[in-house]
Amino acid sequence: MRNIIPILTVVGLLILVWYGAAVALNAQWARDVAARADKTLTFSELVADTWSQEKPKLPAPHQVGAELWETTVMKKVTSKRSLVYHTWVTFSATFLGFVMGTALGTLLAVGIVFNRTMDMSVMPWVIASQTIPILAIAPMIIVVLNAVGLSGLLPKAIISMYLSFFPVVVGMVKGLRSPDQMQLDQMRTWHASGMQTFWKLRLPSSMPYFFTSLKVGVAASLVGAIVGEMPTGAVAGLGARLLAGSYYGQTVQIWSALIMAAALAAVMVGLIGLVQRVTLKRMGMAQ
């Protein structure tokens, strides 16, 4: 907790820089408008203007805040304009993909650690899967999956799953193999079976690695869901809002969608961190 003051200081500095940057970036537009009306602006008029433009290059923090308020609290959750609705759409794809990816990744990791054949035959597939930039072909995947009848939530979730399973596999393989030789020998002297060694030694030892991978995986899932929302004609979800905002030049809309996405990421990673702390504490492994 001694980090709280430095963190707040850095965040405070960032917000100040943000306000300053808003003035700098929006000044040109303000001056152009004034020039056309044959006026010149004083400095305070310039600053006030740059912080309240309709389509600013860089919206000021309070503008974004106002838009966020408008589209979350002031709109009905079921309305197509509610940011809460869009966030929910993105979140459901992220969550489904994340759960599938974690399950798949864990199963693969267990298989790889326990079965030499799987280790030799599956590991290369896992590594190769990451050389294909799935995000880059997200549009293609959505189209192909739509063509075979899968649409809506599932294609996006599949992209999310693809992105989140890899960190889980890598982390869990490392974690399941982390007990040192001395501890494994100890298990042998007790004539423990493979299953017993797994549940009593390997799995507990892998917990720190597991949670670290989950954090990476959930962030990757979110990116997958957002990018997956773009090709379908930008209808629903935070990615769609981002794309729509960029098509129609609605900067404040883009920024509010971005902040929501950031908040969503923060909440998910934070929740995992919470579960991590509680679990590791109960296991006596608290860092």
Partner 1 sequence: MIWILFAIAAWLFGLSVNIWLARQKPSGWASLASPIVFGLTLIAVWEGVVRGFDINQVLLPAPSVIAARFATSLDILWIDFVQTVIKGALSGYIIGCGAAFVIALAIDRFPFLQRGLLPVGNFVAALPIIGMAPIMVMWFGFGWQSKAAIVVVMVFFPMLVNTVQGLQASDAMQRDLMRTYAAGYWRTLLKLRLPAAMPFVFNGLKIGTTLALIGAIVAEFFGSPVLGMGFRISTSVGQLALDLVWAEIVVAAIAGSAFYGIMALIEGRVTFWHPSQRT
**Positions that interact with partner 1 (CB under 8 A):** 2-3, 5-11, 14, 25, 57-58, 117, 120-121, 124-125, 128, 130-133, 135-140, 143-144, 147-148, 215, 219, 222-223, 226-227, 230-231, 238-239, 242-243, 245-246, 249, 251, 254-255, 257-258, 261-262, 265-266, 269
The token pair at 152 is 């809506």
What is the rounded distance in angstroms from the CA atom of residue 277 to the CA atom of residue 255? 32
Inter-residue contact 23 to 51 (CB < 8 Å): yes
What is the rounded distance in angstroms from the CA atom of residue 203 to the CA atom of residue 40? 69
What is the rounded distance in angstroms from the CA atom of residue 99 to the CA atom of residue 89? 16
- Nearer to partner 1 by Cβ, of 83 and 201: the residue is 83
CB of 22 vs partner 1, minimal distance in Å? 12
The token pair at 5 is 């003051």
CB of 239 vs partner 1, minimal distance in Å? 8
CB of 274 vs partner 1, minimal distance in Å? 15
- Nearer to partner 1 by Cβ, of 172 and 260: the residue is 260
CB of 226 vs partner 1, minimal distance in Å? 5
What is the rounded distance in angstroms from the CA atom of residue 115 to the CA atom of residue 101? 21
What is the rounded distance in angstroms from the CA atom of residue 73 to the CA atom of residue 68? 8
CB of 233 vs partner 1, minimal distance in Å? 11
- Nearer to partner 1 by Cβ, of 106 and 232: the residue is 232
CB of 64 vs partner 1, minimal distance in Å? 12
- Nearer to partner 1 by Cβ, of 9 and 40: the residue is 9
- Nearer to partner 1 by Cβ, of 1 and 195: the residue is 1
CB of 164 vs partner 1, minimal distance in Å? 13
Give the contacts of 212 (CB within 8 A, at least 6 positions apart). Answer: 171
What is the rounded distance in angstroms from the CA atom of residue 18 to the CA atom of residue 29? 18
DSSP per residue over 12-76, as a string?
A: HHHHHHHHHHHHHHHHHHHHHHHHHTT----HHHHHHHHTS-SS-SS--HHHHHHHHHHHHTSS-
- Nearer to partner 1 by Cβ, of 16 and 132: the residue is 132
What is the rounded distance in angstroms from the CA atom of residue 227 to the CA atom of residue 235? 13
- Nearer to partner 1 by Cβ, of 205 and 251: the residue is 251
